[in-house]
């Protein structure tokens, strides 16, 4: 096993990669984790985000171990909920429409579980919650947003960093959490394991 520690992002999400890049961090590898994201019976939204982030991290950490890689594996999962109701990551337009109608004019919560698995297989976790309120959406706004396709595969059927940002009238908590990776908490996890989170800052300045 090589002594050099590699940072592995257990996600294929361009949003999570962009957020890490924004913080001056470039993962050594991207290894998306394919896990069943179906909620367990009676599972609460915050527990689902925690469970899935850990499952993704541990799965990829095992792959790294099998490849004799000395790795820090970073994983995350984002869940959008109204009360105890967990909203899907829709691939179908009617699912997305149902999400938008439910979110219209009300406050919802966004939970992201973040997990960092160290080279010894130990999982270090954080759970971050943000509250988001949408304006009341007209039928035309919903239809036009559905037509743009930006909702596809996004928790709750929207992407705050895109057009749906114009729907938000109030945000309490971390914006990057709603995008999909709470940066402050992620940086804290990495720093806690000795990862030099500022190494890329000088390169960016140059």
Q: Around Cβ 163, how many Cβ atoms within 10 Å?
A: 15
**Token pair recorded at residue 5:** 């520690």
**What CA–CA distance (Å, rounded) separates 61 from 153?**
25
Angle between helices 93-103 and 139-148 (to 10 degrees): 140
Catalytic residues: 77
**What CA–CA distance (Å, rounded) separates 34 from 63?**
12
**What CA–CA distance (Å, rounded) separates 11 from 76?**
8
Q: 181 and 124 in contact (C-beta within 8 Å)?
A: no
């Amino acid at each position: 096993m090589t002594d050099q520690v590699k940072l592995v992002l257990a996600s294929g999400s361009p949003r999570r990669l962009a957020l890490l890049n924004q913080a001056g961090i470039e993962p050594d590898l991207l290894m998306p984790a394919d896990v069943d994201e179906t909620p367990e019976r009676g599972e609460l939204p915050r527990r689902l985000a925690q469970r899935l982030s850990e499952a993704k991290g541990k799965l990829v950490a095992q792959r790294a171990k099998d490849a004799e890689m000395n790795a820090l594996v970073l994983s995350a999962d984002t869940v959008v909920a109204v009360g105890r109701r967990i909203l899907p990551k829709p691939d179908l337009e009617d699912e997305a429409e149902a999400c938008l109608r439910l979110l219209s004019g009300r406050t919802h919560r966004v939970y992201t579980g973040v997990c960092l698995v160290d080279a010894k297989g130990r999982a270090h976790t954080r759970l971050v919650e943000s509250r988001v309120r949408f304006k009341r959406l007209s039928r035309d706004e919903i239809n036009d947003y559905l037509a743009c396709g930006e909702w596809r595969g996004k928790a709750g059927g929207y992407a705050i960093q895109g057009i749906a940002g114009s729907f938000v009238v109030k945000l309490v908590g971390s914006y990057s959490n709603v995008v999909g990776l709470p940066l402050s908490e992620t940086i804290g996890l990495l720093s806690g394991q000795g990862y030099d989170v500022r190494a890329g800052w000088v390169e960016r300045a140059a």
